[in-house]
Amino acid sequence: MTQIDPETIVDESELIARIQAGDKSACDECIALHSPALNRLLLRLLGNEQDAEDVLQETFLNAFRAIDSFEGRSSLSTWLYRIAYNAAMMRLRRPNAPTVSVEETLSETPGYIPRQLFDWCCLPEETYDSEEVQTELRQAIAAMPETLQTVFMLRELEGMSTEETAVTLDISTSAAKVRLHRARQWLRDTLGPILDPDNNGQPSPT
């Protein structure tokens, strides 16, 4: 498969035009460029590597088949995120679909809690590397209502913009902002009674 240097600047419009023209090497470049981020998201949503790999392949197949309908209203990556998200949701809705442990998935995904989260959460940044704090955060994220959890994952864990998150989930930008605000508040309310920032991020006395 084609290897893409992360520092390489790819002309997206040119890449799309080449894919639309049936250039197989362009398809390979697209897969190499976008697979890591899509696979990370799918692992978080689906909880196991095999399902994530299957849906990743399905995502690119669906994308290449529909590439002529791509109108450029969003970036190619956002469009792919939306296709991947919809495919993952379809798989999770299948009868007898395995239960996904969000907490376990987060713990197994490198960089699952970015440091910038501490800019607005109720925890001092020096507690970031505390295993206990990481566990409490992981459990709180896993306990979020699904509508809040998905926005939180895309916005805070995947680093998508609010607009990209809205496009991916097919909701309005204002709805994405409201859900993100509620997700952040959920973490503050959930973690506040457990981890006292005035006590160096340690569990409050019981």
Same fold, 1-100 and 102-206: no
Backbone dihedral angles phi then psi of residue 4, each to the nearest 5 degrees: -110, 125
> 102-206 is classed in which CATH architecture?
Orthogonal Bundle (1.10)
Q: What tokens does 89 get? A: 């949701």
CA distance 92 to 98: 8
The answer to whether residues 57 and 14 touch, using CB atoms and an 8 Å cutoff, is: no
CA distance 81 to 100: 19
CATH, domain range 1-100? 1.10.1740.10
Ordered by start, the domain boundaries in the chain are 1-100, 102-206
Per-residue pLDDT of the chain (206 residues; tens, 9 = 90+): 444 444 455 788 999 999 999 999 999 999 999 999 999 889 888 888 899 999 999 999 999 999 999 988 889 999 999 999 999 989 888 766 555 544 454 555 544 555 455 554 555 555 555 677 777 777 888 888 888 988 998 888 888 899 999 999 999 999 999 999 999 888 888 877 765 555 444 444 44
The answer to whether residues 162 and 173 touch, using CB atoms and an 8 Å cutoff, is: yes
